[in-house]
Chains A and B, each alone.
Chain A
C-alpha cells in the first residue's frame, strides 16, 4: 500500500484528514494532526496496521510541545508517526490509552517527564522519578528544567490493592538476593497462586535522555553503549542508524557486515546465558556451568575481535571503528565450531532432563492476545506467537542473509527457551554466511557532515527491537533522543505471565523473559 492510498483509506473509511503529511527518508511517514484529531488518527492506525504503540514521546519546541506516536506498518515495512502540537499554556492532551492500551506507559512517562497531563487516564503514578524522592512540579525533559534543591517529597507510590479473605501481600526488593539489578515486586497471593503482581521499577533511572541533550553525537554514542550493558551493541547501532538516516550516510557494505556479525554475537552470548539462568533457577546447576563456559568463550572472542568483551567502542557514525579481516573471519569460524559443539551438548542436557522440562513446560504462559495488546515484541513476543522480527524487513541489511524467523505458539517458559535455542543456531548460521564476505573494503563512510533533522533508528537486539528517535539541532548537537528498549513494554507481559503461578516459580518466569532494568528505567 503506498502512502497516498494509505491516507485515502484513512480519509474514506475513518473520515479523518490530517493537517499535513510528509515522508522523512524512505521509511518514515509523519502525519500531523490537530489536537482533536490525534486520538482518532492513532486509533485508526492502530486498527489498520495492527500495530501497538511502538513509541510515544514528547519534545519541547520552546514555545510549544510536540507529541509523537509511532506505529509499524508491516505491509510496507515502514514507520508511521502521528504528531500534534500542544500550547505551553495548556499543558494537557486527551489520553489515548483507554482505546490503545500499549500507549499507557508512554503517556505516564510523558506526564512525569514533561508535565503534560494525560486527560482521562486514571493512572498518574510515576515510572522513573519515584514519588518518595522527587518533589512535584519538576519536569526533567523540559528545556527550562531546573533541578530541585533538596526539596523533600512526602508523596507515596500507591500500589494496587487486592483485598479479600486470605489474600496477603509478599513484597520483594528492590535489593534482591542474587547479583542482579534492583526492582520491587509485590505479589498478592491467596493460598499458593499469585493473583496479582505489581512490578515497580525505576530504581536504575539515571536520566539518560536528559543527559544526551545538547551533546555531540560522539559523546552520545558512548552513553548509548551504557544504557543497557548487555545490549550495548544493539543500542549504539540503533543510535548510529538514526544519525546515518538523518545525514543520508551510505554505510559501506563491509561495515554493515561487521555490525551484523557482532550483533549476532551479542545475541548469542545473551541467549546462552539465559538458558543457563533458567536452568539455575530450577536448581539445575551443571547446565548453568556449561552455559557460563560458552558465554565466556563468546566474550573472549568478542575481546579478541574488538578489544571489548561487551563490544563497546565499535560502532561509529558511518561505520565501525574495528576492522575484521579475513583472518578474523577464520578465527570466528574456528571459535564457532567449539562453541557450537558445546551448545549442542547444552541443548541435549537440557532437553533430555524430564524433571527440568517438567518445570518449564506450561509455566509462565503469556497469551498472544495479551502480548499483542501490551506490545510485547521481540523474543518474548515471538515465543507467544507474534511472528515479528525487525531483522525481517525493517533492517534491510539482513535481506542478504538467509535465516529463519523463530517462533513458538505456546508462550510459556519452555517456548522462550526453545526460541532462544533456535535463534542461537540461526545466529551461528548468519555469522558463517557473513564471514565469507569479509573483504578489504572500507569500514567507515567518507564525507560525513552532520546536518539538522530527525529520524528513527531500529535494531533488533536480542530482546527485541531497540528504537532510537533522534533529533539534531542546527549546530549538529542532540536536541532530543527517545530511547525505547523492548523491555519497557515487556515488563508488563511478565506481570501477566506469572498469574496463577506460585511464587517459587517467579524467578524462573522472570529469567525466561530476562528483561532489562536499566534499559527500561533509562
Chain B
C-alpha cells in the first residue's frame, strides 16, 4: 500500500513529462500523425520490430520512442509481440546471414498489406558493416522496403517524424 501512495505522490510531483519534447514540435507532428493513423489505418498502426544484427543502439532508440517522454503509443502506434498482429515490420541491422531465414519467415507470417520499414543506416545497405562476408547488405536485398529511417541511430524524434512523413504521402 505504502508503495502505491509513494508512486501516486511521485506522479504528481513529476507532472506531465511529455511536454519536455515540445521544443521540436513533436507534439504537433504527433497529433497530425494520430489523425492520419485514424483516417488511413483505422485508428492503430501496429509494428513488429525485428533485429537482424544491429548494434543495439537502434533498438534502444525504438524503445526510447516508447518511453513516457516521447510516448509514441499516444499517437496510435504500438509495437506488437507477433508478426501476425502487425501492419508493418520495422527492421534494424545490416541483415546478418544468420538472420535471413528468420526475417523471411517473420515477413511470411504477417497479414497484408505487409509494410516494411528499414531503420538505421546499416539496414539500408549494410552501413558501416558494408562489404563484410557475413552481411547480406541491407533489408532491401531480402524484402521489399517501403521506406527508410536514416540515422546511426535515428533519434526517437526522427522515428516519429519519418513515420509521419511517410504516412502523409
Contact = CB atoms under 8 A, between A and B. Distances in A.
B114 to A, nearest CB: 16
A161 interface: no
A147 interface: yes
A306 B100 CA distance: 36
A59 B121 CA distance: 31
A457 interface: no
Interface string A98-119: 0000000000000000000000
B52 A182 contact: yes
A229 B60 contact: yes
A518 B58 contact: no
B68 A293 contact: yes
A273 B67 CA distance: 11
Contact of B6 (A180, A210, A352): A352
A203 interface: yes
Interface stretch (B26-34, B128-136, B141-149, B160-168): B128-136
Contacts of B82: 177
Given A210-B132, A296-B64, A345-B10, A205 B98 contact: yes
A518 B98 contact: no
Contact of B57 (A133, A175, A211, A310): A310
A293 B69 contact: yes
Interface string B41-67: 000000001111111111111111011
B121 to A, nearest CB: 9
A292 B62 CA distance: 12
B108 interface: no
Interface residues of A, number: 55
B132 A206 contact: yes
A145 to B, nearest CB: 8
B67 A130 contact: no
A479 interface: no
Nearest to B132: A207
A232 B134 contact: no
B59 A203 contact: no
Contacts of B134: 128-129, 140, 205-207
Contact of B62 (A179, A205, A296): A179
A203 B99 contact: yes
Interface in A144-190: 145, 147, 174-175, 177-182
A204 B153 contact: no
A518 B120 CA distance: 15
Contact of B2 (A182, A207, A352): A352
Contacts of B58: 229
Interface stretch (A37-45, A220-228, A501-509): A220-228
Contacts of A147: 133
A445 interface: no
A73 to B, nearest CB: 32
A202 interface: yes
A353 B6 CA distance: 10
A229 B131 contact: no
Nearest to B134: A207
Contacts of B169: none
A175 B90 CA distance: 13
B128 A133 contact: no
Nearest to B155: A309
Interface string B95-108: 01111111000100
B99 A290 contact: no
The 5 closest A-B pairs by CB, nearest first: A229-B57, A177-B81, A292-B67, A229-B55, A229-B56
24 contacts: A128-B134, A134-B97, A140-B133, A174-B98, A181-B56, A182-B50, A182-B52, A202-B98, A205-B134, A206-B94, A207-B135, A211-B129, A211-B131, A226-B122, A226-B128, A229-B55, A230-B60, A290-B10, A293-B17, A293-B68, A295-B67, A296-B64, A518-B55, A518-B56
